[in-house]
Amino acid sequence: MTKQTRAFAARWIFPVSSPPIHGGWVRMDRQQIVEVGQGAAPTDAEDLGDVALLPGLVNAHTHLEFSDCDAPIGEPGITLYRWVGQVIAARQSTTGQAKAAAIAKGLQESFDAGVSLVGEIATLPSEYPSQSDFSPHNQSPELITFAETIGLSQQRGDERFALSEQHVQTQPSGGISPHAPYSTSRPLIERCVQLACQTERPLAMHVAESPAERQLLCGGSGPFAETLKQLGVWDASLFPWGDQPFEWLIDQLAKAPHGLLVHGNDLQVNEIEKIANHPSLSVVYCPRTHHFFGYSPHPVLAMLEHGVRVALGTDSRASNPDLNLWREIQFLLNQRPDIDPEKVLGMGTIQGADAMGRFRHGRFQRGAFAQFNLVPTSANTLQGVYRDFAEQPLKRGV
């Protein structure tokens, strides 16, 4: 066994792309998986003992610029429209240097938590480390930076779109993110989709975060309308969208090579069915952020039952105590026993990678990145392993 070629055996191997292996092993060569096996390990394999070996985790949605928050903004149960106002105030009071430091802090926190890939909403201009030489040796996850594109007015939309256009043209891992239906006009959303298609880049958008968003889009009224008026950005010609605003939006986002619908807390069955008809679409669920806002139970189970790809995200420290994706997984294992634990693990690994078109992350299979996480377990059954997953910390690397 050389420094470039190594093999590891463990009580459990979780390839994620295939069923868990009790008593398995993994071989890597030049930081790439070349073999996954069961039974007698190769003679040169290092036995890791009573652990489950997992691939790198995938955080499909975050805002790293808020990584310097010691606690979420606002109190638990705060309404989204009130929270948005407080977040805008927090953004206005920061500096470029402070934002860059927060991003670096968030990346380090993600790396330490075993995350190998991050879907990041970038409020441009922002300073990020170079990703051109990404490898598993880097002390940072791979980043896909979705340029936030926001604006209800023509002028504001044009300004933000120009920055986003420059971003996807100059950044190899750049995507685009029309912010949300309450903050981005329909013509601007269509321009973002067109740009994603032209450049073959992924697109992410906050969708159906709260019932108040639906009230705005369907009736042009409610607390979001009042908030927009208070912020001085209300345009009565932009709302309402119609009786089925999210069906229109889903059809638009489905045109992108990879479309991520972030949060989806208020998606209804007809909308979930429409998402399921578009393989290019995924929903990103942020469990602890959803819990922070005190929403009704998330329709994630209905999404899974309809065959929708669901990934996990942490959102940001503005709505979450930390950026630890493993704790999102543990939250679901403990709070949502109605969801198959195997599905939960997949949401935190392979589903997030596939949602963003990164098919070498979040799995153990030939050609995948050799990124390892360990969880202590002496269990002899899958049920026992998942109990340990719900309680035990995750350790990055081997």
Kind of pairing, strands 51-55 and 372-376?
A: antiparallel
Residues of the chain with CATH 3.20.20.140: 57-355
Residues of the chain with CATH 2.30.40.10: 5-54+366-396
Amino acid 1: pLDDT: 47
Model confidence, pTM: 0.96
Q: Which fold has domain 5-54+366-396?
A: Urease, subunit C; domain 1 (2.30.40)
Amino acid 131: pLDDT: 54
Q: 148 near 179, Cβ under 8 Å?
A: yes
What is the rounded CA–CA span in Å between residue 1 and residue 79? 56
Amino acid 139: pLDDT: 63
Q: 233 near 223, Cβ under 8 Å?
A: no
What is the rounded CA–CA span in Å between residue 201 and residue 357? 9
In this structure, whether the domain defined by 57-355 belongs to CATH 3.20.20.140 is answered with yes
Per-residue model confidence as pLDDT tens digits over 326-370 = 999 999 999 999 999 999 999 999 999 999 999 999 999 999 999
**Mean pLDDT, residues 80-108:** 90
Enclosing H/E stretch for 147: strand 142-149
Q: Is the pLDDT of residue 135 over 50?
A: no
Per-residue model confidence as pLDDT tens digits over 272-331 = 999 999 999 999 999 999 999 999 999 999 999 999 999 999 999 999 999 999 999 999
Amino acid 349: pLDDT: 98
Q: Which of 349, 359, 179, 164 has its CA nearest to residue 258?
A: 359
Q: Is the pLDDT of residue 227 over 60?
A: yes
What is the rounded CA–CA span in Å between residue 310 and residue 307? 9
What is the rounded CA–CA span in Å between residue 38 and residue 77? 47
User: What's the pLDDT band for 89 if we cut at 50, 70, 90?
Assistant: confident
Enclosing H/E stretch for 12: strand 5-13
**Mean pLDDT, residues 95-111:** 94
Average pLDDT of every residue of the chain: 95
Beta bridge partners of 376: 51
Question: Apex CA 73: angle with CA 67 and CA 76, to 5°?
Answer: 125
Q: How many CB atoms lie within 10 A of CB 82?
A: 13
